[in-house]
Amino acid sequence: MKKAILGLIIMLMPFPDAPSAIAAGSASLKLSAASGNYRINDIIRIHVDCDPKGNLIDTLNTHLTFTPQTLSVAGIDKNPAFNFLTGDNNTDNENGIIRYGAGITGGTDKAVRFMTVNFKLKKEGEMKIILHSDSLILSEGRNLSDGKSS
């Protein structure tokens, strides 16, 4: 098996419609992954974490895109604390799109891992994973997202 030394690009798209003055304590989403060298067919685990920054949050809705030429979703490990699904949850490996939303009964004000996406490396090339600005961090229907990674 040929060894692939690849760079992984993880991005949070800016929120163009966010207000210029963001209230202190606004919540944030973050993508993270272990750095390293990956081989074809390896699994790359990308974590989606939320920091409510002291706010009580009850629902997360995420929209991610990825480079489908080099990556495919092998599975998603969902945090069982988020015990009810919201929205139209789906994974589209052909077009490189993940939409996943879920709520947590009673909410939480602690930093929490929302999910881990397990990507399979299909071939050498650029890998890009983007968390989009229409991802939401909700508290009783109000979006608390600050549009920045923490």
Burial (Cβ within 10 Å: 0-12, 13-18, ≥19) of residue 119: buried
Tell me how far CA of residue 43 lies from CA of 37, 102, 104, 116, 128, in angstroms.
11, 24, 28, 12, 15
Q: What is the pLDDT of residue 148?
A: 57
Q: What is the pLDDT of residue 87?
A: 78
End-to-end CA distance of the chain: 37
Neighbours of 46 (CB within 10 A): 24
CA atoms lying within 13 Å on the CB side of residue 8: 21
pLDDT in tens, the chain (150 residues): 334 434 455 544 433 333 322 233 489 999 999 888 889 999 999 999 999 999 999 999 999 999 999 999 999 999 999 999 997 899 999 999 999 999 999 999 999 999 999 999 999 988 899 999 899 999 999 999 876 544
Tokens describing residue 101: 């939303």
